[in-house]
Chain A
Amino acid sequence: MKWERVRIPLMLGPTMAIITILFFGSLGFGFLQSLGYQPQIGNTGFSLDAYYAVMFSERSASQFWPGLALTLWVASASTFISAALAVGLSLLLRRTFFGKKLAVFLFQLNLPIPHLVIAVGMLLLFAQSGLVARFAGELGIIDAPRDFPVLTRDPYGLGIILAYIWKEVAFFGIIVMAVLQSLGEDYEAVAQSLGANRWQRFRTVTLPLIMPGLMSASIIVFAFTFGTYEVPRILGVQHPKMLPVLALEYFLNPDLNARAEGMALSIIIAVIVFALVFLYMYVSARTVRKS
């Protein structure tokens, strides 16, 4: 009995230890660096100078606040649009039609493709010198490739959002399709039988039923798109830069003193993501309690 009680913790122990050391270790180390603790260059004191410098110094504030706004916009738009598209496509793919297996395969094809490849693909396709612009020019839809709308390396992050949508729709799709499959169509049949039209069924039955899965996936996608730098590094502009790109540049700066600012920025990103996730969990728990 005693053995049974400790067996599972013991079995989980090695994995938990690795996760704890890697996660909390790196987070702790990064946090110490963000406080200026870098013994290798003789800084052994602690201060919030790096945080202040990133957010309020004349040099960095003009980068930080527009970058924060852009990051929030890109992460929110990517998450929302990917989720909406995935729900629509999953509902379409639930129906029986000729070539359904091929359609599902194509829908999920993006999943194993790295974000970097997607970003480069976006550039090749949708840049003003890209394939789509050239074809549009050849077909006479636009006069010259330069007339093609700026969809990559644009100040609004449209290219970045498109790349994330391209990639994350498949991720959302897998989750939504699994939820829809496990639910079946009987709940919707009940609603239909009670008089609900297609839109009413979607709004009052399908959406509330898939919402828990959709929200979990949204948290993952939002946190990822908020904190990752590959796609914005390739498809973004010099100003404003998304926060993860700024953090990377601080970190790669040959001046080791800038590393504290890079770490401070990374910690800020982590805090914002955690805060938004907790806010979501608090709001959803409250909504459940209230309803």
Chain B
Amino acid sequence: MTHLAIRGLTKRFSGQTEAAVADLNLEIESGSLVALLGPSGCGKTTTMKMVAGLLEPTAGDILFDEKSIINIAPERRGAVMVFQNYLLFPYMTIAQNVGYGLKIRKVDRAIIDQRVSEILEMVRLPGIESRRPSELSGGQQQRVALARALVVEPRLLLLDEPLSNLDAHLRFELRDLIRDIQQKMGITTVFVTHDQEEAVVLADKVALILDGRLRQYADADVFYKRPADEATARFFGGQNFISGTSANGTFEAALGSLKLPSDAPEGTGILTFRPENVRIGAAADGENTLQAKLTDKIFLGTQTRLKLAVGDDIITAIANPNDVEGYLVDQEVPLSLPPATLWVLTK
């Protein structure tokens, strides 16, 4: 159980004008599971490698339990990293791979064998000790890589895109496994992902990094309800952005006046709301009801996406296909935007 603090962490690679990671600050509670989320090249793996000690920061500090570890060699930090492409040693058996960290620590052979068996049991791969990495599927290899990291009981477990090389059903399976083991062992865990769904489902808290900067660090639901800025909202699937002014609990825009939640920021800004929170047709009642014209309707299987014009503004809505089955393009449709689902992004 280790508390991780990242203070002003910056990484600038030689020959590059922009910092890969810029002035990153993060507090990760002991025993929690945190996702570093962001698109490819945003600096999340760079951040993780700096925490592991595999990359030297240009500036800033990293603290484990309030003690700086910036000058401690990676092999003595106790931060074990699991890589995206498993990286099991191909010339070793599974038992040798899993027991590697213990052997390096000169642990007694009998204890290594016992710990290896226990940990393989934990990752639900019992009895594969004598097999070779090449004989395992991708999902099995990733579980072995996880076991190899867990067996040394690290202070901090760092998972770099642990699920991205796996197909859908394996991803779900391993996601649950990681969560279960993390809860059971209570190891402070940081994982990197570009998949927002994975971050939301798996993590206690999510840190969104865009262009090397931390945009928002919060519980997963906050990113949907109270995004920090337009880029954050867009990253989480936000599609509705309407310019106007927020004052006295009301948002004034070209499409009319809309009632806001009581904690909405005031001033010139952008109104945002999620497509799934737009109520349409019979469901549209109460406050913030508007008359719109249906301009586009796309069936997505389990959902239907609708484009609705209110004056010059286009609102995107997502609805249950059964609820909007009868609506036709160019038809007038009532919609409502419940105040609690609205948020204002001030500049």
Contacts and interface: CB of A to CB of B under 8 A. Distances in A.
Which residue, A189, A190, A191, A196, has most C-beta atoms of chain B within 10 A? Answer: A190
Nearest to B151: A194
A146 to B, nearest CB: 51
A189 B91 CA distance: 17
A259 to B, nearest CB: 48
Nearest to B158: A193
Contacts of B158: 193
Given A186-B87, A187-B89, A190-B87, A195 B104 contact: yes
A129 interface: no
Interface string B53-77: 1100000000000000000011110
Q: How large is the interface on B (under 10, 10 to 19, 20 to 34, 35 or more residues)?
A: 20 to 34
B83 interface: yes
B131 to A, nearest CB: 13
Interface string B73-91: 1111001110101010101
A187 B152 contact: no
A186 B74 contact: no
Interface string A151-187: 0000000000000000000000000000000000011
B100 interface: yes
B303 to A, nearest CB: 40
B85 A186 contact: yes
A194 B100 contact: yes
B105 interface: yes
A273 interface: no
A26 interface: no
Contact of A195 (B49, B93, B152): B152
A253 to B, nearest CB: 51
A60 interface: no
Given A186-B85, A189-B81, A195 B101 contact: yes
Contacts of B80: 193-194
A197 to B, nearest CB: 6
Contact of A192 (B75, B89, B152): B75
B79 A193 contact: yes
A192 B74 contact: yes
Contacts, number: 58
Contacts of B83: 186, 189-190
A204 B100 CA distance: 9
A291 B95 CA distance: 12
Interface in A243-291: 291
Interface of B is mostly: mixed
A215 interface: no
A193 B87 contact: no
B148 interface: yes
A205 B89 contact: yes
Interface residues of A, number: 17
Interface in B217-246: none
B190 interface: no
Contacts of A43: none
Contacts of B91: 208-209, 291
A200 interface: yes
B148 A192 contact: no
A70 to B, nearest CB: 36
Nearest to A185: B54
Contact of B148 (A187, A194, A196, A291): A194
Contacts of A291: 91, 93
A195 B75 contact: yes
Contacts of B76: 195
B5 interface: no
A193 B52 CA distance: 7
A189 B74 CA distance: 9
B123 interface: no
Interface in A205-257: 205, 208-209
B149 interface: yes
A196 B81 contact: no
A94 to B, nearest CB: 15
A201 to B, nearest CB: 8
A291 B148 CA distance: 19
A197 B83 CA distance: 19
B295 to A, nearest CB: 50
Contacts of B81: 189-190, 193
B145 to A, nearest CB: 8
A190 B75 CA distance: 10
Interface string B4-41: 00000000000000000000000000000000000000
Nearest to B85: A186
Contacts of A194: 75, 80, 100-101, 104, 148-149, 152
B129 to A, nearest CB: 13
Cβ-closest 4 pairs across A and B: A194-B101, A193-B81, A208-B91, A190-B87
Interface of A: 186-187, 189-197, 200, 204-205, 208-209, 291
Interface of B: 49, 52-54, 73-76, 79-81, 83, 85, 87, 89, 91, 93, 100-101, 104-105, 148-149, 152, 158
29 contacts: A186-B83, A186-B85, A186-B87, A187-B87, A189-B49, A189-B52, A189-B54, A189-B81, A189-B83, A191-B100, A192-B53, A192-B54, A193-B52, A193-B54, A193-B79, A193-B80, A193-B149, A193-B158, A194-B75, A194-B100, A194-B101, A195-B75, A195-B105, A196-B100, A196-B104, A200-B104, A204-B100, A208-B89, A291-B91
Given A190-B81, A193-B80, A196-B100, 18 more contacts: A189-B52, A189-B83, A191-B104, A192-B74, A193-B52, A193-B54, A193-B74, A193-B81, A193-B149, A194-B101, A194-B149, A195-B101, A195-B152, A197-B73, A197-B75, A204-B104, A205-B89, A209-B91
